[in-house]
Amino acid sequence: FFSAVRFTLLDHQSPTTGLFPTKSQSKSNAAKVRDSLYCAAAVWALSLAYRRSDDDKGRIHELEHSAVKCLRGILYCYMRQSLKVSAF
């Protein structure tokens, strides 16, 4: 399962913000919170499955940090938009 998640999700994760793009085939860098949360939840669930099976080979660490990076990216984007929300 790790290779499927890696090719489907982790290879498309943004290295700077940690967010996942809405479409992996396009050149657009647009990301949506909902899509990124679903991807982070899938990656986190796989890390929990590897933790239970004790067959990780460093995969637990990579999966957990990928999910945490995505959630930090979402929080960072929310904080950058806080003034717009306050003005609204």
Question: Looking at residues 14-29, what average pLDDT do you find?
Answer: 74
Q: What is the pTM of this model?
A: 0.79
Distance CA 9, CA 11 (A): 6
Axis-axis angle for helices 59-80, 33-53 (nearest 10) = 160
Spans of all domains in the chain? 2-87
Give per-residue pLDDT as tens, 54-67.
Answer: 766 788 888 899 99
CA atoms within 13 A on the CB side of 13: 28
Does residue 80 surpass a pLDDT of 80? yes
CB 75 within 8 A of CB 17: no
Q: What pLDDT, on the 0 to 100 scale, is given for residue 72?
A: 93
Q: What pLDDT, on the 0 to 100 scale, is given for residue 37?
A: 92
Q: What pLDDT, on the 0 to 100 scale, is given for residue 56?
A: 64
Percent of all residues in the chain with a pLDDT value above 90, rounded to a whole number: 23
